[in-house]
Structure 1
Amino acid sequence: MSVIQLKEHEKKVTGEELKPVLEEAGLKLSDSLLGDYSTLISSLDAAIASLSDEKDASPYTDLEKYPRSNIHIPADNEMGAWATKVTAKCTSPTSDLLKGRTVALKDNMAFAGVRCTNGTSMVDWVPKIDATIATRAMDAGAIIVGKAACENSCLEGLSATAVTGQVHNPYAKGYSAGGSSSGSGRLVATGSVDLAFGCDQGGSIRIPASSCGIVGLKPTWGLVPYTGILSLDATIDHAGPMAKTARDCALFLEAIAGPDGWDDRQPPFGLEGGRLKYVAPVDAVLAKEEAKRLDGVKIGVLREGFEVPGQDANVVSSVQSAIEKFKSLGATVSSVSVPLHLVAPLAWTCALPLPGGRQSLLGDIYGRKQLYLTDRAGLIGAKLTQEQFEALGPGAANLYVQYLWAQEKYNAEVHGKAMNLLKGISDAYDKALEEVDVLVMPTLPYPPPQLPDPGSDEGPLSFLGRTVRLISNTCPFNSSGHPALSLPVGFVPAREDPGVKLPTAMQIVGRKYADVDCLKVAAAWEKSSDWTSL
């Protein structure tokens, strides 16, 4: 590595200051070498001190163009769904795509002047900038009305860990609304907002969408900018729309999709020529007579998606019935097998600890070309303190322990092996999608679980045992990057009480950047069926 500057500095790092740092890393240096490296480190410190202010390079929030008011923590938080309320809109929108629509932001998204809890008390942070997609929603005429609660550090599928309280299922109090975009799911389902943002690294849009009976789309990886949103792992980070209908998801996606010049997950090319138009193609499908609505569409029923261990028979039956409906809409339905689908959740699990611990919990996202949320990262050290660790929920705490263990025992080897396997799994989905337009399967293997008693002190093993294999059909497509949509298709009995009926859903997976295919198939099914009567 070349050295930019080498001179005596006013504030010189001494050998005595450097020595314990090296010893902590297991290194012993002679006095001569210690002197040399002290001078070199002094040059680094001087360079760091001379860095100019980053605010000129950061996306500036124009509070005159995007004014916000009435920022408060509501006394009535809609059964746990609201974290913070605010009213914000653009004074000069550039389109009317979302004119007058009310929108909730997930509480891991930056919105200047409004606290961002990320579902945890570990960090107290009020951002100074807006997430790109928040600005895009306002530019399209939407009114942002608040931050929806999310699960602790966005690392739970059960809606019981948000620092703002449990989020209850809109159809049955005491049952999960899903996670981690739990508040977003409930607020859309109850009509408290028209639209909500979710983020999804293992199923966090689709789990609450399925649990709450709404439509949720995890877009193609990189289609929607993740700028200004807290990361779990950049290779699986997705942000996307949650709405009552597939058409509303299409409308929302059209307003927020496309490169923003910051996020390196996004290709700066290949999305021109109308490829970011979603509403018109959906409307064209809906305008057709029912029997021809999906003419020429090939639907592949993913066999392994129905082979998840412990899958609820009522869920399987509901989704199979929903698939039969496609035939009357003109689609061709066939069975498809991707054996690696059953391996994907294990590979996802092994790939997560190292980057997840660093990026999600320590705010350490080096190696990416994106907007760095330095003000928040500065509030966390190289390791969590005991107090910070105790502020985590069971899922986040488990991830941190996994991170420490994987770093000590395996370092980079296992992560690399898992990532290589996931590339092969992604290729297997691509190959299957050469023969069909979309793959379908249950979104979740079982209905929403019952929430633990508030204040319960059950340990992480018991708590996490409530959602074993929950993400078996969702997390594979975070790693592969394919678009995946959850569509409600009926109600099934709760496992704990057959008298309680809860939503279930079908997942529709498309080719990369063919998100519109998922939306068209979902909209066609939706128009011909009343899922609430099934």
Structure 2
Amino acid sequence: MLSRPTKEQLLAIATSYGLQCDAADLAFFLAEIDKVMASYDVLDQLEEPGLPVRYARANVYRPAAGENPYNAWYQKCSIKGARSGRLAGKLIAVKDNVCVAGVPMMNGSALLEGYIPDFDATIIARILEAGGEIVGKAVCEHLCFSAGSHSADTGPVHNPHNFDYSAGGSSSGSAVLVAAGDCDMAIGCDQGGSIRVPSSWCGVYGLKPTYGLVPYTGIFSLDLTLDHAGPLASSVSDVALLLEVIAGEDGLDPRQKDVKVEAYSAALAGEIKGLRLGLVEEGFAWPGLSEPEVDELVRKAAFQFQELGAELTSLSLPLHRLGPAILCPLYFEGSLATVMQGKGMGTNWKGFYGTSLLKAFAHGLASRIDALSDMAKMHLLLGHYMQKQYHGYYYARAQNLVRVLNKAYEDALQQVDILLMPTVPIKATRLPGQDASREERMSGVGKLTVNTCPFNATGHPAMTLPCGIIQGLPIGMMLVGRRWQDSTVLRCARAFEQLRGSS
């Protein structure tokens, strides 16, 4: 039987809300609460429905440094799916905020260390049914709160193009493992750029699909209005193939509504002659942020689309510069509600709740909250302050303004078919040294997502593709399309990939 609140506990709760309760009030409510909690007792006697787990889990282990040169693996394993299918022969790594039954999950944080999921996320089940082999969990940043690659409690993830440089985040390990050739494809998740930033800095292809196209069921959430899961790979064809397998409604994710799935692989064969691409001027030359050589390289790469018969124009989108500010309350107040208070799931939505994950994270918060990273603590402290002082006003205001931001992009996408800009306005940065100050470890991380984050709120598909190298470090170009037209983005990326391959 569940424990009932004591008089002292009830009084403390009442006081925290400014509610006046005398001894008679407390006695009355304690008696009434006892009656209601009988229903809670019943829940412990019922078997809750889970998600099916198929296919044997084998060779699960944490690799030693010699087998993990970039510190990008959290766990290795071998989960072989169906004997045939679209992913037969493909090796797939999975970001470590995605639940894979029988494989330890840490989500980059010591608060979850030791947790082993008892269910597979929907996308894992789909990969295995399609014949793919899950070969391990890729390190991600601490609770996915950073766009750098130095916040995971397992240590920094190194860029395979230069060991001393950041790989980007938060899907840091996923991008590195693809770039290093340790897997054919990887799953990443993206709330502000977490697929696209590391893909850009590691020189691989990464797609944040249309919001809701890929089910988020069984994945640790940051804010239900920003969550996206998607594919990373070393070729556009593999991105399209993995998307084909994981896309579509599962009936368990409230983010999904009227999902429109396309034949992504078949769409790659089409030409892009006549396709209209718009260079978003506000995506370039960010004051105090952009590096001119990155802007120049992306512009030069963009003009290559004209060789393929595409039309390239320049357009102004002033609201793009305000996107990061509009999204700020969603990150801080949204993550407070979903992560800190909702234990990675939140409430008030219908679908599958991973109760074992919820319990594990709740225990970690209760017993080891000081182990939160500085960025996570910032989200907790600022999010709580804003909620306490302003009662969700700015979160609500931001969500309303997202509609204005969305209309600006929609209007632009009536003039052109694809929006184009640098994925990240700067080259990969050096990893902070062991003696770096807290301020140095936090500084600059926010500017990495200025171009990527607005599309998490509006839900447009956005893909980064490698477009050149500066000082040995890859640079990414981002293509953004209309919602549910991920195939157009992929077709455009494929045409560029083929052109570059032949040049």
Structure 1: which amino acid aligns with 2:40?
I
Q: What is the SS of the residue equivalent to 2:452? A: coil
Q: In structure 1, what is the Cα distance between the partners aligned to 2:300 and 2:354? A: 46
Q: State which drifts further: 390-399 or 104-113.
A: 390-399
Q: 1:15 Cα shift? A: 4.7
The match for 1:3 is none
The match for 1:42 is 34
Identify the match of residue 371 of structure 1 among 352, 368, 372.
352
Structure 2: which amino acid aligns with 1:281?
A
What pairs up with 1:138-287 in 2 under 5 angstroms? Answer: 138-267=128-257, 269-271=258-260, 275-282=261-268, 284-285=269-270
The match for 1:22 is 14
Q: State which drifts further: 51-60 or 150-159.
A: 51-60
The match for 1:58 is 50
Over the residues paired in the alignment, what is the CA RMSD in angstroms? 2.1
Kept in 2, the 8 Å contact 1:449–1:466? The answer is no
Q: What is the SS of the residue equivalent to 1:466? A: coil
Q: What is the SS of the residue equivalent to 1:70? A: strand
Q: In structure 2, what is the Cα distance between the partners aligned to 1:389 and 1:418? A: 28
Kept in 1, the 8 Å contact 2:95–2:171? The answer is yes
Structure 2: which amino acid aligns with 1:83?
Y
Q: What is the SS of the residue equivalent to 1:318? A: helix
Which deviations, in whole Å up to 9, do the C-alpha atoms of 1:260-304 show, x marking residues without a partner?
A: 11001011x352xxx33100011x22xxxxxxx311211111111
Kept in 1, the 8 Å contact 2:432–2:440? The answer is no
Gaps of 5+ in 1: 1-8, 286-292, 494-500
Q: 1:60 Cα shift? A: 2.3
Which deviations, in whole Å up to 9, do the C-alpha atoms of 1:158-207 show, x marking residues without a partner?
A: 11121222111111011001100111101100111000000000100000
The match for 1:6 is none
Kept in 1, the 8 Å contact 2:223–2:330? The answer is no
Q: What is the SS of the residue equivalent to 1:88? A: strand
Q: 1:390 Cα shift? A: 2.9
Kept in 2, the 8 Å contact 1:153–1:361? The answer is no
The match for 2:102 is 113
What pairs up with 1:118-517 in 2 under 5 angstroms? Answer: 118-124=107-113, 125-267=115-257, 269-271=258-260, 275-282=261-268, 284-285=269-270, 293-309=271-287, 310-362=289-341, 363=343, 365-381=346-362, 384-385=365-366, 388-453=368-433, 455-456=434-435, 458-459=437-438, 461-493=439-471, 501-517=472-488
The match for 2:491 is 520
Q: What is the SS of the residue equivalent to 1:174? A: strand
Q: In structure 2, what is the Cα distance between the partners aligned to 1:348 and 1:26? A: 32
Q: 1:137 Cα shift? A: 0.8
Change (3 A) 1:177 1:17: closer
Count of residue pairs the alignment pairs up: 497
Q: In structure 1, what is the Cα distance between the partners aligned to 2:2 and 2:159? A: 61
Q: 1:24 Cα shift? A: 2.8
Gaps of 5+ in 2: none
Q: What is the SS of the residue equivalent to 1:317? A: helix
Q: 1:120 Cα shift? A: 0.8
Q: In structure 2, what is the Cα distance between the partners aligned to 1:382 and 1:420? A: 35
Q: 1:377 Cα shift? A: 1.9
Q: What is the SS of the residue equivalent to 1:71? A: strand
Q: 1:361 Cα shift? A: 3.6
Structure 1: which amino acid aligns with 2:407?
D
Kept in 2, the 8 Å contact 1:167–1:177? The answer is yes
Q: 1:397 Cα shift? A: 2.2
Change (3 A) 1:48 1:431: same
Q: State which drifts further: 23-32 or 171-180.
A: 23-32
Which deviations, in whole Å up to 9, do the C-alpha atoms of 1:395-448 show, x marking residues without a partner?
A: 222212212222222221111011111121012111111121110000001011
Q: 1:10 Cα shift? A: 11
Q: In structure 2, what is the Cα distance between the partners aligned to 1:133 and 1:53? A: 30
Kept in 1, the 8 Å contact 2:138–2:173? The answer is yes
Q: In structure 1, what is the Cα distance between the partners aligned to 2:274 and 2:174? A: 35
Q: State which drifts further: 184-193 or 42-51.
A: 42-51
Kept in 1, the 8 Å contact 2:82–2:132? The answer is no
Q: What is the SS of the residue equivalent to 2:312? A: strand
The match for 1:78 is 69
Change (3 A) 1:30 1:398: closer
Structure 1 or 2: more helix by fraction:
2
Q: In structure 1, what is the Cα distance between the partners aligned to 2:426 and 2:47? A: 47
Q: State which drifts further: 52-61 or 212-221.
A: 52-61
